Amino acid sequence: MLDEKVEEYCEFHTTPETDLLKKIFRETNLKVLNPRMLSGHLQGKLLEFFSILINPEQILEIGTFTGYSAICLAKGLKKDGVLHTIEKNIELEDIILKNFNRAGIIKNTKLYIGNALDVIPEINKKFDLIFIDADKINLLNYYNFVFEKLNNGGLIIVDNVLWNKKVIEKIKPNDADTKAIKKFNDFVQNDERVENLMLPIRDGLMLIIKK
């Protein structure tokens, strides 16, 4: 994880957020519980860059929250591409759709409200880019569910793999989230079907390319 001053320096030397993303950031912090779940400036711009470089036809996102990361990911979609995004909290649906409308991406997005483990099997698509930013207990389940839906050469990005540095500390007996993240990290590291890279950006990102 970056030192706060280093992160501020990096943000200063990064193309600024759009006015809409700034507005979504402010509104999320004012109106929504756990606003730290939002991707934010540096991570959002990184997601945007990956999407632009890949130019995907189909993107899958697990964990929409208020739509910030989806808007960033949608920047690289092909003209008729679709971003499929899953959010289990029905209370966020109106906020998400409002933000997608404001961003002008509503025609290129499909929002699913429900449990991702139920929704994923119902999406009959192959993906070029997958972003996983959801509950940590099911992290390995999400990975296994989406893997066959990822095209060869496709990219999976997984958030929170450092979990506020808890993965390098002694785990408390009742800390199921940290145990699940460590299990996931170790699984990916030993998965011979992929190449992977862990980055210490914000709360840690795991990049996974399917061979």
Q: Quick one: average pLDDT of 5-22?
A: 95
Q: Is residue 91 classed exposed, middle or buried when 0-12, 13-18 and 19+ CB atoms within 10 A define those classes?
A: exposed
Residue 146, sorted as left (phi over 0), alpha (psi -120 to 50) or beta, turns out to be: alpha
pLDDT at 1: 66
Condensed to tens digits (0 to 9), the pLDDT of residues 26-38 reads 999 999 988 888 8
pLDDT at 197: 98
Instruction: Tell me the pLDDT of the chain averaged across its residues.
Output: 96
Q: Quick one: average pLDDT of 66-93?
A: 97
Asked if pLDDT for residue 2 goes beyond 80, the answer is no
Backbone angles phi, psi at 64, to 5 degrees: -80, -35
Split at pLDDT 50, 70, 90, the class of 71 is very high
Split at pLDDT 50, 70, 90, the class of 3 is confident
Condensed to tens digits (0 to 9), the pLDDT of residues 51-60 reads 999 999 999 9
The structural domains of the chain, ordered by start, are 4-210 (3.40.50.150)
* Contact predicate 109/69, CB 8 Å: no
State what percent of residues in the chain have pLDDT above 70: 99
For residue 72, give Cα distances in angstroms to 110, 137, 138. Answer: 15, 26, 24
Condensed to tens digits (0 to 9), the pLDDT of residues 166-197 reads 999 998 889 999 999 999 999 999 999 999 99
Split at pLDDT 50, 70, 90, the class of 88 is very high
